[in-house]
Structure 1
């Protein structure tokens, strides 16, 4: 497969900002934790020297197949079939201890959304699946059989910021009991009619947030983020960079809080002039306020409109020690 064919189906979000945030050494070792169809990886490879290396991870077998095709074309690149919660394990298998930069592009890739059989999109009829890796876990249809209305309402609120979470949750479970929920088309119809009439025809389809929340729930994405970001911080070399693209406020808050805990780890009361808890900062923010796509990118790729990029950097031991004596750490 030609390299151009590998990437033709997917437009990488915030490509230049993301790759620019990660790259600082042509001979470095880099990790792309969410390969997708390789848009970001290809841009990194274009900047690497012959001695540079790039490792990618993905839990989607189709993405791994695309990555393996790229690996056959470029010996600097390798891909592992693994979710990014296993980042530490994969790096250990490769013999990589500290790396130059690690990037995450959370969410789903365009090919995943566009393939009706994956069940990610409400615009095409497909099975109630939504698994990133169809070889493991339970599909949405099975998970809905064992959830209460209260639990499902909480899922829609926490992972989708859905205003009408309770109404939609009740409607979904009613349709399931009545055997009227058999496809993504059915789910879209339930969401559409569950919200008030005045909310059905806005700029965002009434099913958007529900589909997002259910996908995150099915794939355990919040737990994945916790494990992946934590492992990434542990495996960055001093000066190494962490870049994370998220697509909704819940994801972004989780990413922010995980990194912030390493930027300002001190738990001393704010009135104390000096830190006595002994917790040292290990990261600094490079872009605490999220970077967002400009109007031109949104026009070309509407799916990028909700994307947010945060960037942080690993401190050296000397910097960490120097900053540890001040309550609140690095400002």
Structure 2
């Protein structure tokens, strides 16, 4: 069944080129997905090298378990679990924050407004609360806040009111098509080429999976586990993620001065920004889902 939905890894060579600087080191693929980055990393590692991958999605873990390589390990956890690794033990951390094509394209996962399926949206459908269950009881104000903050949707309050009215009149929303149709009937204007439901679906997916909170936790954990000279490589696909990554790197790329102790030596910076990369025109032409990707690379300093 999985083979019906193929995934094309974005910035594959660029990410692995930036990440693997020490072929005998230990590396982290914090979001295994369907393993495009992991397989290329393994091809670059020497026999002493090691790759640890993380993923919440049981389907991704099943794909990872098929990799027969003693240097490889998969963990069925979100990438905030990086903090459980030994301090300064890792030569590189890769975070590809995109949703994989099999997750989007499989209607049963409930991520897409383009085909009908259960309104789920959980990366790990065995844990947590589905989008449908949350929308069945959430107050209007909370729904509006989530859709506005995580979807950057200017019609968030109108959409939230429409969801509340719908569940009072006909019961809770149960499918992706029901939500998409409701949003389309509420949002009267939208950017050319963008479905009216795009922002709402993004917001609910981010909220249900606590994506931004986990990203913050994983970035902080990466500072602890990276060895001096180790690389942090993050590929983001929308402005909310990229802003967090950009601000994190900027914050740790400067010395910290304690204003309470003005004559004390400043704490040295922990990261050095290396580069910012976007997909080439050729890659975007071959894979439209690459068009919004931004890759940021930083290096752990000796501090």
Structure 1 length normalisation: TM-score? 0.85
CA distance in 1, matches of 2:218, 2:3: 26
- Mapping for residues 67-146 of structure 1, pairs under 5 Å: 67-70=64-67, 73-89=68-84, 91-92=85-86, 97-146=88-137
Partner of 2:240: 250
CA offset digits 1:146-202 (Å, max 9, x no partner)? 322222222122211223222222222222222262200001111111111x43x72
SS of alignment partner, residue 33 of structure 2? coil
1:55–1:7 distance in 2 versus 1, CA, 3 Å: farther
CA offset digits 1:119-167 (Å, max 9, x no partner)? 0011111111111111111111111133222222221222112232222
Post-superposition offset of 1:47 = 1.1
1:206–1:275 distance in 2 versus 1, CA, 3 Å: farther
SS of alignment partner, residue 245 of structure 2? helix
CA distance in 2, matches of 1:268, 1:232: 23
Contact map agreement 1:131 1:137 (CA 8 A) in 2: yes
Partner of 2:273: 285
Partner of 2:18: 21
Partner of 2:143: 152
Partner of 1:327: none
Query: Alignment partner for residue 300 of structure 1, among 264, 274, 286?
Result: 286
Contact map agreement 1:6 1:66 (CA 8 A) in 2: no
Post-superposition offset of 1:233 = 1.3
Post-superposition offset of 1:264 = 2.4
Contact map agreement 1:132 1:219 (CA 8 A) in 2: yes
The aligned length equals: 300
Q: What RMSD in Å do the two structures reach over aligned CA positions? A: 2.2
CA distance in 2, matches of 1:27, 1:12: 24
- Mapping for residues 153-192 of structure 1, pairs under 5 Å: 153-178=144-169, 179=171, 181-192=173-184
Partner of 1:219: 209
Partner of 1:44: 41
Post-superposition offset of 1:49 = 1.4
1:255–1:193 distance in 2 versus 1, CA, 3 Å: same
CA distance in 1, matches of 2:98, 2:150: 12
1:8–1:55 distance in 2 versus 1, CA, 3 Å: farther
Post-superposition offset of 1:265 = 5.0
CA distance in 2, matches of 1:189, 1:8: 24
Contact map agreement 2:271 2:301 (CA 8 A) in 1: yes
Partner of 2:32: 35
1:6–1:76 distance in 2 versus 1, CA, 3 Å: farther
Question: Which runs of 5 or more residues in structure 2 are unaligned?
Answer: none
CA distance in 2, matches of 1:277, 1:155: 42
1:150–1:304 distance in 2 versus 1, CA, 3 Å: same
Post-superposition offset of 1:260 = 2.2
1:275–1:190 distance in 2 versus 1, CA, 3 Å: farther
Post-superposition offset of 1:29 = 0.9
CA distance in 2, matches of 1:216, 1:11: 22
SS of alignment partner, residue 278 of structure 1? coil
